[in-house]
Chains A and B, each alone.
Chain A
């Protein structure tokens, strides 16, 4: 099966048992949306399940083919970066997590194997510590980790899942859903491979599409290409390097260094700053009067705690008080009784749209203009046929 593994796994966390079902190619070709498939798998396994999935084009050479999806009772989140690509290359297209583990730990997926690894120590760690722990345990720095933090552990509806240290995708409180299963993190490493129908043509068509996108979008300015405020001096003066998700020619991620000189290129400080791509959170931070340095400090703290920063900033600034990182730090220690934020609070974030449904970045394709006819030749070269998009 080109571009797919054809495998859906379900891990019953209460027993550790894994069952597999085949992903039917005809069904995928009739409706390639990973969003509708993830929702269907979620319904099949019950409301308390959590489903991680990849799009049809995830991991292909189509520009921005990095997206995956997580579906749970509280909603959906797209997954960007390298997580979805690694998940697909681990041998599974979708994974359902059901039940509750008897003790804390993490789900570890690689080489067509999915298992629950018990780790009592993880409960004591924040989301960064959990990511680092998994990588140390398994001896691979390129393991991709979706981690809950202490806010998820406490069941806060404004908890977020953190993707390899950074936040920006989970605006649905899925951090709490994962932690409620005693799962502190899901870790994936893709050492498998995906077939394509016509290798040379897939390469050429994707290269042509990439060139067309680049000429239309112009030079990349990192996050400032997507969020004007990131072009201001307080932000740009802290900028270190821009980082792309898998396969993206026009990255939206800019790393700000606040603990050392942004011009420092050698590896020195281990935690020098934060990778910004959470547009709603930054917008909120600037609205409440923070500068880029303070916003970075606060988003970093929120990510560690697994707290969604728009909700944190809304709550912390209530009453019109002047916010500082120290105030937020104090507030983050004790999770509050909070209500989820309304959807409009997250405008400018990652939308669940037609691009995500086939595994493409909604931000890149939102800016470039999602055009199925332009993407079509890349899809046909990979699959040997077209699909509705």
Chain B
């Protein structure tokens, strides 16, 4: 399981929010988005959205629509780190990540 990790194809994301919800469901057995290790970042008026994942080993993994390597400009309103730093890191749901299963577009992938 240690070799598994999640990868994003951000442009496939449609911002349905299911990944957040099933993450909380797996962790806390409730429907919510508050306990998730994955966060949907959304600037709806600009139609800018992507994912932020808190991992145990790699810190924050950003799924930005402009690409992983693009730097975040100060004040850009891009994915913010503060709220997610207070959350538990992804535990890969014990080896079968539910966010990847529930994602309707294949934006979230499990890689070995």
Contact with B along A170-202 (1 / 0, CB 8 A): 000000000000000000001111111001001
A272 near B46 (CB under 8 angstroms)? yes
Residues of A in contact (CB 8 Å), total 51
Identity of the chain B residue whose Cβ is nearest the Cβ of A253 in the assembled complex: B14
**B101 CB, nearest partner CB in chain A, Å:** 6
Query: How far, in angstroms, from A60 to B25 measured CA to CA in the complex?
Result: 10
**B8 CB, nearest partner CB in chain A, Å:** 13
B47 near A241 (CB under 8 angstroms)? yes
B66 near A265 (CB under 8 angstroms)? yes
Tell me, yes or no, whether B22 is within 8 Å of chain A by CB: yes
A267 near B24 (CB under 8 angstroms)? no
**A368 CB, nearest partner CB in chain B, Å:** 13
Cross-interface CB contact of B18 among A3, A247, A267, A269, cutoff 8 Å: A247
Identity of the chain A residue whose Cβ is nearest the Cβ of B30 in the assembled complex: A193
Residues in A179-232 with C-beta less than 8 Å from chain B: 190-196, 199, 202-203, 207, 210, 214, 220
Cross-interface CB contact of B34 among A191, A241, A275, cutoff 8 Å: A191
Identity of the chain A residue whose Cβ is nearest the Cβ of B65 in the assembled complex: A265
Identity of the chain A residue whose Cβ is nearest the Cβ of B66 in the assembled complex: A266
A257 near B47 (CB under 8 angstroms)? yes
Tell me, yes or no, whether A33 is within 8 Å of chain B by CB: no
B31 near A241 (CB under 8 angstroms)? no
Identity of the chain A residue whose Cβ is nearest the Cβ of B98 in the assembled complex: A203
Cross-interface CB contact of B14 among A196, A251, A269, cutoff 8 Å: A251
Query: How far, in angstroms, from A247 to B15 measured CA to CA in the complex?
Result: 9
Please name all residues of chain A whose beta carbon is closer than 8 Å to the beta carbon of B15 when the two chains form the complex.
243-244
A244 near B29 (CB under 8 angstroms)? no
Residues in B49-106 with C-beta less than 8 Å from chain A: 49, 65-67, 70, 76-78, 98, 101-102, 104-105
Tell me, yes or no, whether A277 is within 8 Å of chain B by CB: no
Tell me, yes or no, whether B11 is within 8 Å of chain A by CB: yes
Tell me, yes or no, whether A61 is within 8 Å of chain B by CB: yes
Tell me, yes or no, whether A283 is within 8 Å of chain B by CB: no
Which secondary structure dominates where chain A touches chain B? loop
Contact with A along B8-25 (1 / 0, CB 8 A): 000100111110011011
A240 near B47 (CB under 8 angstroms)? yes
Tell me, yes or no, whether A350 is within 8 Å of chain B by CB: no
A246/B46 contact (C-beta < 8 A), A61-B21, A191-B34, A266-B70 known: no
B17 near A247 (CB under 8 angstroms)? yes
Residues in A259-275 with C-beta less than 8 Å from chain B: 265-273, 275
Query: How far, in angstroms, from A73 to B6 measured CA to CA in the complex?
Result: 50
Query: How far, in angstroms, from A142 to B15 measured CA to CA in the complex?
Result: 12
A267 near B22 (CB under 8 angstroms)? no
Query: How far, in angstroms, from A82 to B31 measured CA to CA in the complex?
Result: 14
Contact with A along B40-52 (1 / 0, CB 8 A): 0011111111000
Contact with B along A300-335 (1 / 0, CB 8 A): 000000000000000000000000000000000000
Please name all residues of chain A whose beta carbon is closer than 8 Å to the beta carbon of B49 when the two chains form the complex.
241, 243
Query: How far, in angstroms, from A151 to B49 measured CA to CA in the complex?
Result: 30
Please name all residues of chain B whose beta carbon is closer than 8 Å to the beta carbon of A214 when the two chains form the complex.
104
A247 near B65 (CB under 8 angstroms)? no
Query: How far, in angstroms, from A244 to B108 measured CA to CA in the complex?
Result: 16
Tell me, yes or no, whether A367 is within 8 Å of chain B by CB: no
Please name all residues of chain B whose beta carbon is closer than 8 Å to the beta carbon of A245 when the two chains form the complex.
16
Which residues of A does B touch, CB under 8 Å? 3, 59-61, 82, 85, 89, 128, 132, 141-142, 164-165, 190-196, 199, 202-203, 207, 210, 214, 220, 240-251, 255, 257, 265-273, 275
12 A–B pairs (Cβ distance < 8 Å), ordered by A: A165-B44, A191-B32, A192-B34, A199-B25, A243-B49, A245-B16, A247-B16, A247-B21, A265-B48, A265-B67, A266-B70, A267-B43
Which residues of B does A touch, CB under 8 Å? 11, 14-18, 21-22, 24-25, 28-34, 42-49, 65-67, 70, 76-78, 98, 101-102, 104-105
Across chains A and B, which 8 residue pairs bring their CB atoms closest together, nearest first?
A: A249-B104, A193-B32, A193-B30, A266-B66, A244-B16, A244-B14, A255-B47, A194-B31
